[in-house]
Amino acid sequence: MGNSQPALIIPALIENWQAVRARILQCASNCGRNPDEIHLLAVSKTFPPAAIAALAQAGQTSFGENYVQEALQKILELKSIEPALIWHFIGPLQRNKTRSIAEHFDWIQSLDRFELAQRLSTQRPLALPALQCCIQVNISAEPQKNGVSPQALLVLAEQLQKLPRLRLRGLMAVPSATATPAELQASFEHLNQLFQTLRERYGSSIDTLSMGMSADLEAAVAAGSTLVRVGTAIFGAR
Ligand SMILES: *Cc1c(COP(=O)(O)O)cnc(C)c1O
């Protein structure tokens, strides 16, 4: 039984991935957006390297991970097989994990503290390009949630300009899981306003508005998302 499992799972995985791509095309078309402006990040946390390799072979290049230890094993294992993959760290950022992130990821989307940004910049190896960053915004103002407040965002964005090995690309948010559709829509629109403010200030290098997950990617794309982070709809329940 065990040996036949991957052969059964992988076609379903590719089908799921194609269905998510079709959803993105459909909602881009519904709201008159160019689908090329909407990137798909496959959130592979808790799923094995074989699943990532199968998607990579089908054409998926960007993968998101939340847990540093788990991610490092996968990144190192896949490096020789799929050297062109782009890895995004999207989990809570801890002080003792900054070096591993700086050395092994291409992006961090969960930046919310200048002190940790400084560490990442210092620890980013010179042989690698700058670490691409999104600031995480606590858009639903949940007390226990990661992310900066909208009020603190511009201060942090300005501080990041001074760090030579980091490059600010935009914003990321995870709205409240209990938001009503109307609250969700309002959160996405608010994040887009903050993104536009950042673009006015720093220009077109700010090009990434990371919002939308398996259950709400349509609403996020309608509100201007340029990157949706999809786990469950591709890989199944965790
Ligand atoms: C797990 C996770 C996702 C993926 O969520 P799904 O609902 O499984 O698509 C997206 N973004 C972040 C920050 C996550 O932690």
Our answer on whether the CB atom of 134 is closer than 6 Å to any ligand 1 atom is no
Confidence class for position 198, pLDDT limits 50, 70, 90: very high
pLDDT at position 133, please?
98
pLDDT at position 202, please?
98
What is the Å distance from ligand 1's center to 66 Cα? 9
Our answer on whether the CB atom of 20 is closer than 6 Å to any ligand 1 atom is no
Block residue for tokens 């201007």: 224
pLDDT at position 3, please?
44
Confidence class for position 4, pLDDT limits 50, 70, 90: very low
Q: How far apart are CA 39 and CA 144, in angstroms?
A: 29
- Write out pLDDT tens, residues 21-49: 999 999 999 999 999 999 999 999 999 99
What is the Å distance from ligand 1's center to 162 Cα? 30
Exposure of 42 in the CB half-sphere (CA atoms within 13 A)? 30
pLDDT at position 48, please?
94
- Write out pLDDT tens, residues 205-231: 999 999 999 999 999 999 999 999 999
- Write out pLDDT tens, residues 133-169: 999 999 988 887 899 999 999 999 999 999 999 999 9
pLDDT at position 2, please?
44
Ligand 1 atom at shortest distance from the alpha carbon of 109? 13
pLDDT at position 9, please?
83
- Write out pLDDT tens, residues 80-130: 999 999 999 999 999 999 999 999 999 999 999 999 999 999 999 999 999
Provide the 8-state DSSP code for 129: P
Counting residues of the chain whose pLDDT is more than 90, the rounded percentage is: 92
Q: How far apart are CA 213 and CA 231, in angstroms?
A: 7
What is the Å distance from ligand 1's center to 48 Cα? 16
Residue 94 neighbours by CB distance under 10 Å? 10
pLDDT at 1 exceeding the cut of 60: no
pLDDT at position 228, please?
98
What is the Å distance from ligand 1's center to 43 Cα? 6
What is the Å distance from ligand 1's center to 218 Cα? 15
Confidence class for position 15, pLDDT limits 50, 70, 90: very high
Ligand 1 atom at shortest distance from the alpha carbon of 174? 13
Counting residues of the chain whose pLDDT is more than 70, the rounded percentage is: 97
Question: Residues 191-206: what's their mean pLDDT?
Answer: 98
Q: How far apart are CA 16 and CA 235, in angstroms?
A: 7
Our answer on whether the CB atom of 46 is closer than 6 Å to any ligand 1 atom is no
Residue whose CB lies within 8 A of the most ligand 1 atoms, among 68, 88, 229, for a mutation test: 229
Task: Give the residues across from 65 on adjacent strands.
Answer: 89
Our answer on whether the CB atom of 43 is closer than 6 Å to any ligand 1 atom is yes
Task: Give the residues across from 162 on adjacent strands.
Answer: none
pLDDT at position 112, please?
97
Closest protein CA for atom 13 of ligand 1: 90
pLDDT at 5 exceeding the cut of 80: no
Ligand 1 atom at shortest distance from the alpha carbon of 41? 10
